[in-house]
Amino acid sequence: MAGQLPFDERPWPERRDAALQNQTMRHTIGFVTRRFTLVKQEVYRANPDIEASRTVAVGQKRKAIHDLPELLERFRTQVEEHGGHTYLAARAEDAVDIALNIARTNQVKSVIKSKSMVTEEIELNQAFGKEGIAVRETDLGEYIIQLAHEKPSHILAPAVHRNRHQVADLFQEDAAQKKIAPPHSDDIEDLTRYARERLRQEFLQADMGVTGGNFLVAETGTLVLITNEGNADMVTSLPPVLVSIVGVEKMVENWTSLQEIIQQPAMSGIGRHLSSYTTMIHAPKSSGSAEGPEQWHVILVDNGRMALRGTKFEDVLSCIRCGACLNVCPVFREVGGHAYGSVYPGPIGIVETPLLTDFQILPELPSKLCTLCHACQEACPMDISLPQHIVSLRHIVIKRHLNSGMVGWTLKTWARFWGTASGYRRSISLARVMQRFYGKRRNASGLIPGMFAGWGQTREIPQVAPQTFHEWWQDRNQKGE
Amino acid sequence: MLGVDETIVQQFEEKWQSNAGKLLHINHREELEDLILDLSAADAFKEKPIVVGGSLGQWEWIRTWNPEKVSIWSPGDDPEVFRHQCANASLGITGCAWAAADAGSVCLYSQKDSSLLPSLLPPIHVVLIAKDQIVLSFHEGMGKLYQDAHDQGLWPSLVKIVAGPSMTADIEGQLILGVHGPRDIYAVIIDDSIGIQPN
């Protein structure tokens, strides 16, 4: 069954132009992605044994996806034996309903949340907002974009498109609204201090915590969360009710598999052996303990994932959301996350977005936002065949006539001319006539038809030569006779 | 301390520091007392500026050492009260279950007799490590966690692995320490366990 993902309704040219005009975003995203890429290369070079672990992890993760239905059952049995509750949500809206029911039953008024892409996918915050329940994002980047009513622009660094002055403005406004002391200055240290103080109170008062999950271990019923800020530790240890919303594909079979894969997100994402905090939840709080939730609910989200099993795209379910493919992608480095229009940007996003939704949204992504340079293939620690998938998705887009009429017409016309030698010669004579018709302009942009017209706006197209090589050759031979 | 491989200890120290963790060696109980008082000195006026996670092993003496300044978690205590104390404390102290040399990390278990809150809420966290708790690799430590759970027939409900202070690079990619968790994290390596014992 196809899943549902939210998307930006602006057409691609509009999203693209907005991104290219945002100099702050382009500067920061360029800096951050290049740095992540460098430190990743460095950590792999310095630790050759991690490469061996990675290869084992890839094999085990593929097997876990293959055995997913059985592993999900094992995981659920384990968690419930430890006193937790589990749910399987087929669609995004089912996951939201389950979470809302838990909140209603417990008369929850305020929720604190650590970063989770899947809750962006199911639009949890909006649903809770409509119900009058305040959801507070606590990852610093997520908190910033929540104040700005924006979407993440990078899966690891969601607010990378905003500079310190813009963040300071948001915090000033927030402080005025809450009638609390604003940040001392727009120094990044002061801004971070403000967020610490501001969010600390919400952590201590919240009725419910929401997390995502980096890994689920079927054998032991363990959920693993990885953060650098420590916010997931707050969310898992302070509120009385904890809801973890996790994509079904995060499953690994057993503890041995977890040992091999657990360092990959930090290694490939931020070039460290581990992020600052790795938190494992095994059960709700046992009586007499100091911390932990009294209730722990795990919502396992399908939303189009299970349908990919058994297809040639199955390996995309191995993605560990490390962000390595985003960081190396020359397109992502230029346009950043918002231009993709999907919750999932970058190479993995242009593959996953159409696949999870069966092409119902953003079918243009594989064709428009990839140069097939294969950098993502090289960077992916889980060996996902991203470029091959992108080519296959382009085929599907053509076969299912999902391109706009103009694109189809242009490609067909082009193929009709350049499919044969005589067609090619005819197209050149035609271009020469058109060139005369448009006068002696240097720029031949007027000559470029249909979907290629955009080329002429940014490039100087050379004039068609008065004589082609073939014509010159023929002439020369005739004269020589 | 027979059988402790000093190269493993050294590797842990280097990696821990490269993760922006701070490091101290302690030979005597008095040194640890001084360190704790120094680190909490700025908030000396506070009532009980020091919180301790419990389950202290060879550092049990901290319990009776300075009751006016220190709150320690014990099974059966009121969690609300302890949480409030941790939220107001300036220094949190915990032991650890194991430390990994290659990742420069420590692992803490949340169990009835040990709380994670002192490692999370105060701005400074001091983690006490005996040299023989340091294993060569994180991989090996994870194996130990599994083994411990099996031996005890019980998994800790929460497990936390710390590899450096709380940090973020969410604004302009600039690294800042101490977002939600502690800004300073001290690994205190106990060189001579005998000297620490109260006599």
User: Which residue would you say has higher pLDDT here, A51 or A356?
Assistant: A356
- Residues B1-19 as b/e (b if ≥16 CB within 10 A, e otherwise) read eeeeeeebbebbbebbeeb
Q: What percent of chain A has a predicted confidence (pLDDT) above 70?
A: 95
Q: Looking at the predicted structure, is the pLDDT value of residue A456 above 70? A: no
A291 and B CB contact within 8 Å: yes
Dist CA A390 CA A348 (whole Å): 9
pLDDT at A160: 83
Nearest CA in chain B to A28: B172
Contact call for residues A153 and A337 (beta carbons, < 8 A): yes
Put simply, the answer to whether A192 touches B176 (Cβ < 8 Å) is yes
Instruction: Tell me how far apart the 2 most distant CA atoms of chain B are, in Å.
Output: 54
B138 and A CB contact within 8 Å: yes
- The least confident of A216-225, B52-61, B176-185 is B52-61
A139 and B CB contact within 8 Å: yes
Interface of A with B in 196-235 (CB under 8 A): 196, 199-200, 203-204, 220, 222, 228-231, 233-234
Residues of B in contact with A114 (CB under 8 A): none
Which structure tokens are listed for A3? 């899943």
Which structure tokens are listed for A178? 């809450």
Nearest CA in chain B to A50: B139
Nearest to A369 by CA among A427, A425, A330, A423: A330
Confidence of residue A428 (pLDDT cuts 50, 70, 90): confident
pLDDT at A413: 83
Share the mean pLDDT of chain A. Answer: 91
| Mean pLDDT, residues A171-183 | 94
Which structure tokens are listed for A53? 């672990």
| Mean pLDDT, residues A316-344 | 96
Nearest to A89 by CA among A216, A210, A3: A3
Confidence of residue B199 (pLDDT cuts 50, 70, 90): very low
- Residues B36-66 as b/e (b if ≥16 CB within 10 A, e otherwise) read beebbeebeeeebbbbbbbbbeebeebeebe
Q: Side-chain half-sphere of A109: how many Cα atoms within 13 Å? A: 2
B118 and A CB contact within 8 Å: no
Put simply, the answer to whether A276 touches B160 (Cβ < 8 Å) is no
Full domain range(s) for residue B68: 6-193
Q: Is the dihedral of CA B121, A199, A281, A285 positive or negative?
A: positive
Put simply, the answer to whether A280 touches B170 (Cβ < 8 Å) is no
Tell me the nearest-neighbour CA distance from A295 into chain B, angstroms.
12
Nearest to B129 by CA among B28, B26, B36: B26
B27-48 pLDDT, tens digit per residue, is 888 888 899 888 888 766 677 8
What number is the ipTM of this complex? Answer: 0.93
Phi, psi values for residue A53, rounded to 5°: -60, -40
A356-409 pLDDT, tens digit per residue, is 999 999 999 999 999 999 999 999 999 999 999 999 999 999 888 777 777 777
Put simply, the answer to whether B120 touches A28 (Cβ < 8 Å) is no
* Number of separate domains in chain B: 1
Dist CA B23 CA A354 (whole Å): 50
Of B75, B164, B176, which is closest to A276 when you measure between CB atoms?
Answer: B164
Residues of B in contact with A201 (CB under 8 A): none
A157-168 pLDDT, tens digit per residue, is 888 888 899 999
A48-66 vs A68-81: helix axis angle to the nearest 10? Answer: 90
Q: Looking at the predicted structure, is the pLDDT value of residue A450 above 60? A: no
pLDDT at A156: 78
Put simply, the answer to whether A262 touches B116 (Cβ < 8 Å) is no
Q: Which of A273, A295, A296 to mutate to test the interface with B (most CBs of B within 10 A)?
A: A273
Phi, psi values for residue A181, rounded to 5°: -65, 130
Task: Please report whether residue B16 resides in a domain.
Answer: yes
A404-421 pLDDT, tens digit per residue, is 777 777 778 888 888 888
Task: Please report whether residue B174 resides in a domain.
Answer: yes
Dist CA A11 CA A19 (whole Å): 13
Of B87, B103, B157, which is closest to A274 when you measure between CB atoms?
Answer: B103
In three-state secondary structure terms, A342 is strand
* CATH code (residue B14): 3.40.50.10420
Task: Please report whether residue B74 resides in a domain.
Answer: yes
Which structure tokens are listed for A184? 């001392």
Q: Side-chain half-sphere of B165: how many Cα atoms within 13 Å? A: 24
Domain boundaries, given as residue ranges, for chain A: 422-480
- Concatenated DSSP letters of A174-228: HHHHHTSPPPSSS-HHHHHHHHHHHHHHHHHH-SEEEE--SEEETTTTEEEEEES
Put simply, the answer to whether A159 touches B170 (Cβ < 8 Å) is yes
Interface of A with B in 184-203 (CB under 8 A): 188-189, 191-192, 195-196, 199-200, 203
Torsion, CA A461, CA A463, CA A469, CA A472, rounded to 10: 180
pLDDT at A267: 93
A70-99 pLDDT, tens digit per residue, is 999 999 999 999 999 999 999 999 999 999
A140-147 vs A164-178: helix axis angle to the nearest 10? Answer: 70
Of A220, A238, A279, which is closest to B155 when you measure between CB atoms?
Answer: A220
B76 and A CB contact within 8 Å: yes
Task: Please report whether residue B106 resides in a domain.
Answer: yes
Helix residue spans in A206-300 (DSSP H): 231-237, 255-261, 264-270
Amino acid at B151: D
In three-state secondary structure terms, A88 is strand
